Amino acid sequence: MNITALEKTALSVRALSIDAIQKANSGHPGLPLGAAELGAILYGELLRHDPSDPAWADRDRFILSAGHGSMFLYSLLHLSGYRDITLDDIKSFRQIGSRAAGHPEYGMAAGIEATSGPLGQGISMAVGFAVAETMLAARFNTGAHKIVDHYTYVLAGDGCLMEGVSAEASSFAGHQGLGKLIVFYDSNKITIDGSTDLAFTEDAAKRYEAYGWQILRGSMYDFGEIAELTARAKAESGKPSLVILTSIIGKGAPNKQNTAGIHGAPLGDEEVAAARAHLGIPGDFYIAPEARDYFRAKQAEWKKIRADWQALFDAWSRENPEKRREWDQFHSGRAVPAALPSYRAGEKIATRSAGNKALTAVAEANANIVGGAADLKSPNAVGLPAEAGTWTKQNRAGRYIHFGIREFAMAAICNGISLHGGFRPFCATFMVFSDYLRPALRLSALMKQPVIYVLTHDSVFVGEDGPTHQPIEHLASLRIMPDLRTLRPADAEETAEAWAMAMERGSGPTALILSRQNLTVFPKADPNWKQNLRVGAYIVRQTGDGTPDAVIIATGSEVGLALEAAEKAGDKKLRVVSMISKELFESQPAGVRNAIVPPGTRAIVCEAGVHSGWERWAKPEDILSIDRFGESGPAAKTAEHLGFTADALLKIISR
């Protein structure tokens, strides 16, 4: 270990971070200055990676959970040879067009493994990375060739451990014995408001010990000790490790270090000058020659390590051609089309149950479908085929995951599984509890990860569970999230196609909104409805030639209600449209939209939720909606009490 080179690397991280943040007049210098030594040894000695091939499948992963300290990551990516982060990017930190964004953003540059910044989600996604590693290893490693064998490292701070999602995910990780997950805890005891003693005096080590983690302690500034602690963490294969490193926030800024003032603000001209004098930094955006030389030599070593793995992988491929074909399929990003179930008109089945049949078919065709529910496997109807097995400490090849009652962590873990590569994850809960997981769903959309969210019990027709479990505003809130596709199928046939649509989507998450109650499979007037469904809406009931008197737009279970009302309307020429995805339909060209909902024709909307968002299609008096919380009672009586019936819709039609 070249201690001098590591010291110069830490100095360079501090220099680049000071100047980038000062030039931007924005940023968080406390972490990169306080943890520079960890960064130096992590990227120089501990990580198994190759900047010349940043997508190498068996690389170690590093997640900066404390994403506000992003200059820590950008400095080290640049120093170690990742070409995407240039010195010009660092000089334009936090500016439009720079890959060195305010917080690390997945897809902006190679070496950024996840979008982080919302505290607690980075460490939680890292749990998903570790889960995926175990799954790949169990499926593809052989006695002769261990082609999957890497670690997931995390740098987390006090804020990450305060956020509840990290508790959920860490509890899960300890229970599941994820021994290849190593979290470095930057314990500097300072947050934005001041000392952590203001709000955080618990013994985090004891908490994590109770979760089932190995606890290790040391100094952020002792290279030998960090190396020894990491070796001990790697030696403990049955538990994740929390390595608590005592640090000084903003170390090297002589007048501001160890204060709240350095957490999230530039140093200022006077303190920049003082820090440079104190640290021996000779000028702007300084990189020590010793650090440059060190990483140049390291790059050759890393290429050799990756080339050795490639030779191992090639030998494995020759001896295991079937496994290699499956490996390629897992990593292709493309789904294998499934033989979806079929139904007859008149059958009655809840779309959650139809969803399970579709999921079973999809999972049989795609062995890399993995996931589970937040302790709702049966109510959500998301069981996988028996041969898929359950993922546990004893069976890492299992595909169904029991996440426990941890909606937020469940979604974050699925993001990590997706980001890792090789798997297509899904997760499930009651739709009303999408509120619990929404911040992770937002990151799914922001990172364009094709995670599938199965959200059942989708309306007041949940019934007796009452208003706490009856979604009202949730459909509207999901639809407004950019890059999330929300699909609310109206019967079992649409549900099968909705699963196919979700699998066809390679970029961005999909939410499948499914019913608890049975819905009748209805005949479709459009012979090409399966194709046209993919524009977001299609014609269920046609009125013959000519323009209809009105178009009834409905979603989910309300399509059946609309068909009932249309039949009662007698001579009126009524077209019924099933709009499985409002936002998808609204994104279509005008010609497509106009063919289904003719301009100038009266439109009536029927949906068991708030009216918000439907004003584009109908006048307020032509929207049958529910703009209040529900009631506890049997489903039909609850709907009647709320005035949400076919007769109520008929009254609107008859105006």
Inter-residue contact 276 to 11 (CB < 8 Å): no
Instruction: Give the residue from 13, 139, 32 showing the smallest Cα distance to 423.
Output: 139
**Cα–Cα dist 45/297, whole Å:** 12
**Cα–Cα dist 639/608, whole Å:** 9
Which H or E run includes 518? strand 518-520
**Cα–Cα dist 227/519, whole Å:** 60
Sign of CA dihedral 177, 178, 179, 184: negative
Residue 407 annotated in active site: yes
Inter-residue contact 78 to 72 (CB < 8 Å): no
Instruction: Give the residue from 10, 63, 47 showing the smallest Cα distance to 222.
Output: 10
Phi, psi of 244 (to 5 degrees): -85, 115
Please measure the distance between the N-terminal and C-terminal CA atoms of the chain and give it in whole angstroms.
83
| DSSP notation for 331-398 | TSS-PPP-------TT-EEEHHHHHHHHHHHHHHH-TTEEEEESS-HHHHT-PPPGGG-B--SS-TT-
> Exposed, middle or buried by CB within 10 Å (0-12, 13-18, 19+), for 142?
exposed
Two tokens at 601? 């024709």
**Cα–Cα dist 316/323, whole Å:** 9
Phi, psi of 72 (to 5 degrees): -55, -50
**Cα–Cα dist 79/287, whole Å:** 8
Inter-residue contact 496 to 341 (CB < 8 Å): yes
Rg of the chain over all Cα atoms, to the nearest angstrom? 27
Torsion angle of C-alpha atoms 59, 63, 64, 65, degrees rounded to 10: -170
Which entry of 113, 133, 163, 407 is annotated as an active-site residue? 407
Other CB atoms within 10 A of residue 547 CB: 12
Q: Mind telling me the catalytic residues?
A: 407
